[in-house]
Amino acid sequence: MPPSALEILTRLNINYPMLFKLTNRKMNRITHSGVLEFVADEGKVYIPYWMMRNLLLDEGEILHVESTALPIATFSRFQPQSEDFLDITNPKAVLENCLRFFSCLTSGDIIAINYNSKVYELCVLETKPGNAVTIIECDMNVDFAPPVGYKEPERPKQEDDMAVDEEYEVEPSGFVAFGGEGTFT
């Protein structure tokens, strides 16, 4: 964002950390973001490519930016956009490490994370307590949905030799507690 935006924001009574609602009014798309630096040229905002895709924006198009306050995240569910994500040994730890570079999440967005020189895209399926949440200094539970296109592997069927004959009953041997018949008086 440009330095003039910082000047205006410091004069207003805004909540910290500074969070923003980004809107592409032409396509009716919304996402949320923090700010890294106030060094952009006047009238310009620099956002990551994946965020431009979420907003259906092309370079140079108009973006509406407004200051906002978001609730602190308690839960979020992600869906990897490719089965390659299953190759990661500890996906929750990887995600936790990568989310340190994010300030907020919006349900429906597809975020991009870098791990081992590879970019993984994850759809934010759900966030609680709202559709948009801040993830700065929070204790958030994370869940994953199966990746797009993933099919559960089929389990091998048991052979008929292993089937138990239902008519065959084994008589217990030795002491059996309460093994007698009951009578009513």
So what's the pLDDT on residue 153? Answer: 74
The answer to whether 150 and 86 have CB atoms below 8 angstroms apart is yes
Given the DSSP bridges, would you call strands 75-80 and 118-128 parallel, antiparallel or unpaired?
Answer: antiparallel
Q: How far apart are CA 163 and CA 138, in angstroms?
A: 52
The answer to whether 75 and 128 have CB atoms below 8 angstroms apart is yes
Please state the rounded mean pLDDT for residues 72-96: 91
3 φ/ψ angles, rounded to the nearest 5 degrees? -60, -30
DSSP-assigned letters across all residues of 52-96:
HHHHT--TT---EEEEE--PBPSEEEEEESSGGGGG-S-HHHHHH
Q: How far apart are CA 33 and CA 46, in angstroms?
A: 11
Domains contained in the chain, CATH given = 3-68 (2.40.40.50), 75-144 (3.10.330.10)
Q: What is the pLDDT of residues 43-55, one digit of tens each?
A: 888 898 888 988 9
The answer to whether 32 and 17 have CB atoms below 8 angstroms apart is no
| H or E element, residue 120 | strand 118-128
So what's the pLDDT on residue 172? Answer: 64
Please state the rounded mean pLDDT for residues 5-15: 81
